[in-house]
Amino acid sequence: MSHGTVSPRVGDAATELLAGAQEAFPAGELERKLGQGRPLRIKLGFDPTRPDLHLGHAVVLRGLRRFQEAGHHIVLIIGDFTAQLGDPTGKDKARPPLSSEDVEANAQSYLDQFGVVVDLERVEVRRNSEWLGKLDLSATLKLAAKATVAQMLARENFARRYERGDAIGLHEFLYPLLQGYDSVAIRADVELGGLDQRFNLLVGRDLLAAYGQEPQVCITYPILEGTDGKEKMSKSLDNYVGLTMEPGEMYGRTMSIPDALLPAWYRLTTGWSAPETASRLENLASGQLHPRDAKMALARRIVELYHGQPTALRAEEGFVKQFQRKAIPDDVPTVAIAERRVNICQALVTAGQVKSTSVARQKIAEGAVKILSGDQTVRVTDPRAEIEIPAEGVVIRLGKSIVRIVPG
């Protein structure tokens, strides 16, 4: 490691590349690699376990795009092999493995979504089954010998599970090694990942050294909290805003975040420059900017990033109309029902607003079900009520969700 030889230009380049990152280590290493004057091989891996990419993924993807724009070589790894194993990261319990059909379908869906943030034309896409599938037992043992149980237990979530007496599958210890082996297979110079990936990234770094290659630089990105303001954003908790979500839902979900999340979301999801973000947040802090308006600006911005400005404005109008003025929105989801006359509970179930007629009855008892026609709103009070379905359909509202039922 040569200290003090980094030119100012290389240093500036590194700073720019690291915008939005949480940390990069070892310190100075990225600058050193940049100083070699060649395009670096930048690795980013995803396990296609769940088919929706969300704003949390976008934080890292935006970092990746910076490297791409600077002319570095991007290697996107679809963890089709590791997905069947299940990353223990962030889980306090073992994950059920996925079938290979699921993995395949998800992988394709992921690829489509990567394109929303990075330029897929200039990305090398690899599947890790390509090399992991070929590892025989002796190679696997050799790989396993590179790490110790103590190293694995040093990791907080393994340690916690161990202490609590929960099961830890042996294969789970292998996961970080396999992810690390990906780095070896593609000769990574740099690996990006969420902060929660730090351990796995480090294992990759160690493995590169163990296999006689130059160790990778590890760059982590902050974890984005989900719309509930409590847990990290994830599909399984349904506290996420998906990158390919329909604009109205994207806008609405963003509006539902707690105010306390505004600063973090401004910094991590908007792509606004640091100064611009800071000045907006100052206005918010000083009370010049109403939290609601700050949130609307955020929601508008997010929809704009993924659907374009005109769509964002329409999403906002729709939101204001529906929720702030409580009018029937323009694009109500429509469900067709064969009968011309149905029981209200049955209709709610068929329309997917409730999962059973029992629940429908309860919601009616709670006064949550309303039928809207024109500017008339009628609250349904009798679970045995029958509703007529006219040719133009009928709009039913249950709490926040609205559905138009048409004859079919």
Partner RNA sequence: GGGGGGGUUCCCGAGCGGUCAAAGGGACCUGACUGUAAAUCAGGCGGCUCAGCCUUCGAAGGUUCGAAUCCUUCCCCCCCCA
Residues that bind RNA (CB under 7 A): 162, 165-168, 228-229, 251-253, 255-259, 291-292, 295, 319, 323-324, 345-346, 349, 355-359, 361-363, 366-368, 384, 398-401
Nearest CA to 340 out of 386, 385, 284, 397 is that of 386
Taking the complex as a whole, the smallest distance from the CB of residue 347 to RNA amounts, in Å, to 12
**Residue closer to RNA, measured from CB, 273 or 401:** 401
Nearest approach, Cβ of residue 321 and RNA (Å): 11
Nearer to RNA, 224 or 257 (CB): 257
Minimum separation from the CB atom of position 249 to RNA (A): 7
The closest of 71, 89, 68, 87 to 79, measured between CA atoms, is: 87
Q: In terms of CB distance, is 15 or 323 closer to RNA?
A: 323
Residue from 10, 14, 124 nearest 67 by CA: 14
Cβ closest to RNA, residue 22 vs residue 343: 343
User: What is the closest distance, in whole angstroms, from the C-beta atom of residue 251 to RNA in the complex?
Assistant: 6
Task: Kindly state the tokens that stand for 339.
Answer: 């009968």
Instruction: Kindly state the smallest distance separating residue 167's Cβ from RNA, in Å.
Output: 3
Identify the burial level of 133 via C-beta atoms within 10 angstroms of its C-beta, where 0-12 means exposed, 13-18 middle and 19 or more buried.
Answer: exposed
The position carrying tokens 């830890």 is 168
Nearer to RNA, 175 or 251 (CB): 251
Between residues 3 and 325, which has the closer beta carbon with respect to RNA?
Answer: 325
Judged by beta carbon, residue 133 or residue 367, the one nearer RNA is 367
CA 95 to chain centroid: 18
Dihedrals φ, ψ of 4, to 5°? Answer: 75, 5
For residue 123, the surrounding DSSP H or E stretch is strand 123-127
201 exposed, middle or buried (CB, 10 Å; 0-12, 13-18, 19+)?
buried
β pairing state of 123-127 and 73-78 = parallel
Closest Cα to residue 65, out of 15, 117, 22?
A: 117
Q: Minimum distance between the CB of residue 75 and RNA, rounded to whole angstroms?
A: 36
Helices (H), 167-246: 170-186, 198-210
| Closest CB 350 distance from RNA, rounded Å | 11
